[in-house]
């Protein structure tokens, strides 16, 4: 099969070439799940080979090495695989598919002109040292989530040719229908490096296993009329085993896989699950399904592993169910972890605008939403997430009291200095009221914040209108906070 790229993928390659021409030797290609980063990488590897240059692609999991090798075979491209015990060890080939772990044991690949690093946000020490010590090699990192601190020290340019929203709009990804369910209580839980420990999360996750199973049964029949293929991101190995048992008790075949299982067993289970006639209803795992897992006809994702700061993992997990399939108009996301609300502002920003910079600090522990925010975020009838700017539930049609949708106030429309948007002063003030009610702001702080935005004090506005802040509001608030901290020398 001949490799054919879409226009956006061709644009990505041109943007990378432009970056190299501008003097950036190490660049990151950011692309959402479903964009086809691997196909872009293969096209670059093949182009370099035709010029007589040796290239390599580094992957941090054995299954990803195998998948990439199979893709190259699909397009009839000769290559070798540098992985312990692999039958395709062919060091003479111009294209090498490399296991990061094998390279770390044997030493890095030699004499290449182009190095492509999959999931580059993982930042393996030996790989970053190799890049640093070989300034003549061109480097491209691939990721959907470039939020790891320190990436800017290794890569000097970001190429993000398309947003997740664009892929959804173009029908290359499906939208998510989100339900906010009973949350695993992580109050006071132990953290390691700013993230809740897996052992603690697993222990607490098991306390609501019955709720997870019951809610899945309810929603899969309510939304689809029958059980549908599902992946569950559990809190730990014990939690996964407990979930599989309780699903089995209800008559559903869910299989839990973990690092404790034989690699061949895991590959066989995933291969079976990918079949359209599989008897496996769902897979359960902690990290195994987070990246490199691609089964397009999965309809439901269950989030049952709370993250305090890992926006990357949250986005990667949602991406596993957003791939298109003829049987899917949308995917369903059941959130028992609290992650969707915890990362909602950051996720919507990435969804709509993509990523244009590195080391932006997104991977920091998030402030927990208040109970009021959690209650206001979902439909009281079905638990579906309220859509921004609407009081009508898109799932069940329930209508809440019109307190979050602001109607236009004549004469209160002002244009931003750049002329790009029109902001409703009443809407902005309603978002300030939300912060007063649920975010701990004082009335004075809200008034000064409003004046910073519009240059005038809030007058003749309705204090009873309350709207959850949108991305523009949160960005402005963040900018003002940074400005304040800098003024204090922090």
Report the CATH superfamily, name and number, of domain 167-369.
P-loop containing nucleotide triphosphate hydrolases (3.40.50.300)
Average pLDDT, the chain: 87
As a whole-number percent, the residues of the chain with pLDDT over 90 amount to: 54
User: Do 110 and 126 form a contact (C-beta atoms < 8 A)?
Assistant: no
Residue of 365, 233, 210, 345 whose CA lies nearest to 286? 233
Q: What is the mean pLDDT of residues 189-218?
A: 92
Q: What is the mean pLDDT of residues 144-163?
A: 91
Residues of the chain with CATH 3.40.50.300: 7-162, 167-369
Q: What is the mean pLDDT of residues 268-284?
A: 95
CATH entry, 7-162, from 3.30.565.10, 1.10.645.10, 3.40.50.300, 1.10.3720.10: 3.40.50.300
| pLDDT category of residue 371 using cuts at 50, 70 and 90 | confident
Q: What is the mean pLDDT of residues 448-471?
A: 85
Check residue 138 and give its pLDDT: 95
Q: What is the mean pLDDT of residues 60-68?
A: 84
**pLDDT tens digits for range 79-113:** 999 888 889 999 899 999 998 888 888 777 778 99
Q: What is the mean pLDDT of residues 245-259?
A: 95
**pLDDT tens digits for range 391-446:** 788 788 888 764 433 333 332 222 323 333 335 788 889 899 988 888 888 888 89
Residue of 245, 182, 227 whose CA lies nearest to 332? 227
């Amino acid at each position: 099969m001949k490799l054919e790229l879409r226009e956006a993928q061709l644009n990505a390659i041109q943007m990378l070439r432009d970056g190299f021409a501008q003097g950036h030797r190490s660049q990151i290609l950011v692309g959402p799940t479903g964009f086809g980063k691997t196909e872009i990488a293969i096209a670059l590897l093949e182009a370099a080979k035709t010029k007589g240059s040796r290239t390599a692609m580094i992957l941090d999991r054995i299954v990803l090495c195998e998948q990439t090798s199979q893709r190259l075979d699909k397009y009839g491209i000769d290559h070798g695989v540098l992985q312990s015990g692999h039958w395709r060890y062919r060091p003479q080939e111009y294209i090498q598919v490399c296991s990061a772990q094998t390279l770390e044991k044997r030493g890095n690949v030699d004499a290449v002109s182009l190095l492509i690093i999959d999931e580059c946000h993982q930042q393996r020490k030996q790989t970053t040292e190799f890049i640093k010590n070989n300034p003549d090699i061109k480097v491209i990192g691939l990721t959907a989530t470039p939020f790891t601190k320190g990436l800017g020290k290794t890569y000097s340019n970001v190429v993000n040719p398309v947003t997740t929203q664009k892929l959804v709009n173009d029908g290359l990804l499906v939208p998510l229908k989100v339900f906010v369910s009973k949350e695993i209580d992580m109050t006071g839980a132990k953290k390691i490096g700013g993230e809740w420990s897996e052992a603690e999360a697993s222990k607490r996750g098991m306390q609501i296993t019955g709720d997870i199973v019951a809610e899945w049964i309810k929603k899969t029949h309510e939304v689809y009329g029958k059980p549908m293929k599902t992946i569950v991101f559990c809190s730990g190995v014990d939690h996964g085993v407990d979930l599989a048992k309780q699903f089995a008790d209800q008559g559903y075949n869910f299989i839990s896989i973990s690092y404790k299982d034989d690699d061949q067993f895991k590959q066989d289970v995933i291969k079976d699950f990918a079949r359209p006639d599989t008897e496996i209803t769902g897979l359960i795992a902690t990290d195994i399904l987070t990246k490199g897992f691609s089964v397009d006809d999965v309809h439901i994702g269950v989030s049952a592993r709370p993250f305090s700061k890992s926006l990357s993992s949250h986005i990667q997990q949602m991406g596993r169910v957003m791939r298109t399939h003829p049987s899917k108009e949308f995917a369903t996301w059941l959130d028992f972890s609290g992650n969707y609300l915890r990362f909602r502002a950051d996720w919507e920003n990435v969804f709509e605008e993509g990523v244009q910079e590195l080391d932006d600090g997104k991977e920091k522990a998030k402030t927990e939403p208040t109970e009021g925010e959690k209650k206001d975020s979902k439909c009281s009838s079905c638990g579906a997430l309220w859509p921004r700017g609407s009081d009508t539930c898109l799932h069940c049609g329930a209508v809440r009291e019109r307190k979050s949708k602001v109607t236009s106030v004549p004469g209160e429309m002002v244009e931003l200095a750049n002329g790009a948007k029109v902001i409703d002063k009443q809407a902005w003030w309603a978002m300030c009221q939300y912060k007063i009610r649920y975010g701990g702001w004082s009335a004075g702080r809200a008034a000064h914040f409003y004046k910073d935005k519009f240059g005038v004090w809030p007058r003749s506005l309705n204090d009873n209108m309350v709207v959850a802040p949108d991305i523009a509001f949160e960005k402005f608030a963040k900018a003002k906070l940074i400005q304040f901290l800098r003024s204090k020398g922090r």
